[in-house]
Amino acid sequence: ENSKNSSGINDVYRVYLPSSDIFSTLTYTGTKDYVATEMVNGDTVDEFKTKFLKDIYYKRNYRKIYPREAARIQGFPKDFLLHDDDRVAMRQLGNAVAPPIVFELIKEIFRTGAL
């Protein structure tokens, strides 16, 4: 039996394909975000959905997003130090404001003199 609520279906919130160029906002509950371990394709939306459910979701061909991956998705530099506990690191990253966004906002503040 499936359970569906605002935190996903059966405790899975999102599953990204390995080729994803765009990721939704990571949240501190990032443990519910996953990456598929293989690709699926479909000629139509319905075909894609059917293949995704059959080959990825039901077979559990997905894995959690690792903290280092989450840091890179958020725009943190490669050498950014993460907490040793993955759960704490994911919570910190999920609550963080992406550094590139902060940089662009500061540039715009200085450009416009809005200080």
- Structure confidence at residue 26 (pLDDT): 76
**Whole-angstrom distance, CA of residue 52 vs CA of residue 109:** 44
Q: What is the full per-residue pLDDT of the chain (115 aa) written as tens digits? A: 555 555 677 778 888 888 888 877 777 765 678 899 999 999 999 999 999 999 999 999 999 889 999 899 889 999 999 999 998 998 888 888 889 999 999 999 999 987 6
**Whole-angstrom distance, CA of residue 95 vs CA of residue 97:** 7
